[in-house]
Amino acid sequence: MGLRGNIFKFIPGIVMMAAIAIFARGGADFGCPWWHGIETYLASDPVVKKWTVDTLHLNYILICIIVGMLIRNTIGIPGWAAPGIRTSRLFIKVGVIFLGSLYSITELANLGINAVTIILAFVFATLLFTLWLGQKLGMDAASASVLAAGLSICGVSAVVATAPAVRARTTEVVYSIATVLSFGVISLFTFPAIGTLLGLSPHQFGAWAGTAILNTGQVLAAALAFDPGTVAHPSVSLKTGQIFSLARVLLLPFVVLVIAILYSREQADEYNIKTGFWNRFPIFVLGFLAMVFLTSFGLLGPTDPPSRELLFIRNLYSWFFAIGLAGLGMQISFTELRKAGGKPLLIGAVVALLKAVAALVVVTVLIRP
């Protein structure tokens, strides 16, 4: 569903996502100072806190996703809320743009060089390994290509972007999306616990999550679960994870291009490489870069200590993420996930596990705490 048409039909779903976000995060910013958010209540009892907050990292972000998943998989999404819930990705994107207010140009350049090197190696290694494994196990070229794109770049968008280039059948697309989403959901809940267990620094965790977790929303959620940060001291994991995730998103058009070239060679097919490439450039990333420039040149006031404008924007992106991720949770259907099966699931399991372990090794060796 596009954003055209009657704007009012989006409101009920957006209100529903916002209600979940307020339930998890508290109502102080919305005129309900008496509601402190479920996270605060969990933290008030030492025993409950030890298991939920300290061990499982259940902060407002994960609570939003869990509540969303519970609603979707028990009572279901009411028809009147469905259009609004589909705007969840829009909220995440606006949040990502505002996240630009955390960086300076120098910082972005330093982080960016590390991120691009690691991401470039991982994306193309995963891509080629998945294609090779797919061929070895007798998968057809189109199925292997969509799965390879999904496992190397950013999950669902990559699968969807590659599908027309290789003329994949819809069942192959659905299998690949379900496989990628299943691993995303598993890593969302396991990565923060593993990171704590191994004593990773927030910076190392951000790099690991940004390299190994496929979906941008899930990278942000895992990073915020590991290191929630505050408005005055924003999450370091989130800052690092975001750059790694964006570096990967920016590679999407290149991967589609490589797959399209490899596939057309094999099939003697003609795919409009030029149009396919530019159609897939993630334009919202330009907003993020604009935000970095505005902050670096002091248009939003001093950064240290942060100005009122910057503090307002940082609080705002936390709300945008909370609302967007509640919607993301409501899009995770266990019935859909059960569609994952056969070879995509087997290959997905091998590749995702190898990638998580390899990324962990590379990050602990190359990234200083």
Partner 1 sequence: MSERDLGELDVLFETEEVEDYAALSLAALILVFVLMLF
Site for partner 1, rule CB under 8 A: 1-4, 89-90, 93-94, 97-98, 157, 160, 163-164, 169-171, 173-174, 279, 282-284, 286-287, 291, 294, 300-301, 307-309, 312-313, 316
DSSP structure string for 321-366: HHHHHHHHHHT--HHHHTT--HHHHHHHHHHHHHHHHHHHHHHHHH
Of residues 10 and 226, the one with the C-beta less far from partner 1: 10
Q: Of 221, 171, 177, 222, whose CA–CA distance to 195 is shortest? A: 222
What is the residue whose two structure tokens read 């190359």?
366
Q: Give me the least distance between CB of 234 and partner 1, in Å please.
A: 17
Q: Give me the least distance between CB of 49 and partner 1, in Å please.
A: 34
Q: Of 68, 102, 30, 103, whose CA–CA distance to 322 is shortest? A: 68
Of residues 190 and 315, the one with the C-beta less far from partner 1: 315
Q: Give me the least distance between CB of 307 and partner 1, in Å please.
A: 8
Q: Give me the least distance between CB of 24 and partner 1, in Å please.
A: 22
Q: Which residues pair with 32 in a beta bridge?
A: 27
Give me the half-sphere count of Cα atoms (radius 13 Å) on the Cβ side of residue 10.
13
Of residues 156 and 262, the one with the C-beta less far from partner 1: 156
Of residues 88 and 130, the one with the C-beta less far from partner 1: 88
Q: Give me the least distance between CB of 287 and partner 1, in Å please.
A: 5
Neighbours of 112 (CB within 10 A): 17
Q: Give me the least distance between CB of 112 and partner 1, in Å please.
A: 21
Tokens of 283: 């334009």
Of residues 193 and 316, the one with the C-beta less far from partner 1: 316
Q: Which residues pair with 5 in a beta bridge?
A: none
Q: Of 263, 256, 320, whose CA–CA distance to 282 is shortest? A: 256
Q: Give me the least distance between CB of 298 and partner 1, in Å please.
A: 13
Is the Cβ–Cβ distance between 355 and 126 less than 8 Å? Answer: yes
Q: Give me the least distance between CB of 252 and partner 1, in Å please.
A: 10
Of residues 67 and 260, the one with the C-beta less far from partner 1: 260
Of residues 63 and 161, the one with the C-beta less far from partner 1: 161
55-60 long-range contacts, CB within 8 A, separation 24+? 55/193, 55/196, 56/189, 56/192, 56/193, 57/192, 57/193, 57/196, 57/225, 57/226, 58/225, 59/224, 59/225, 59/228, 60/21, 60/24, 60/25, 60/228, 60/322
Q: Give me the least distance between CB of 115 and partner 1, in Å please.
A: 21
Of residues 107 and 309, the one with the C-beta less far from partner 1: 309
Distances from the Cα of 219 to the Cαs of 137, 216, 238, 260, in angstroms?
30, 5, 8, 27
> What Rg, from alpha-carbon coordinates, does the chain have?
20
Of residues 125 and 282, the one with the C-beta less far from partner 1: 282
Is the Cβ–Cβ distance between 106 and 293 less than 8 Å? Answer: no
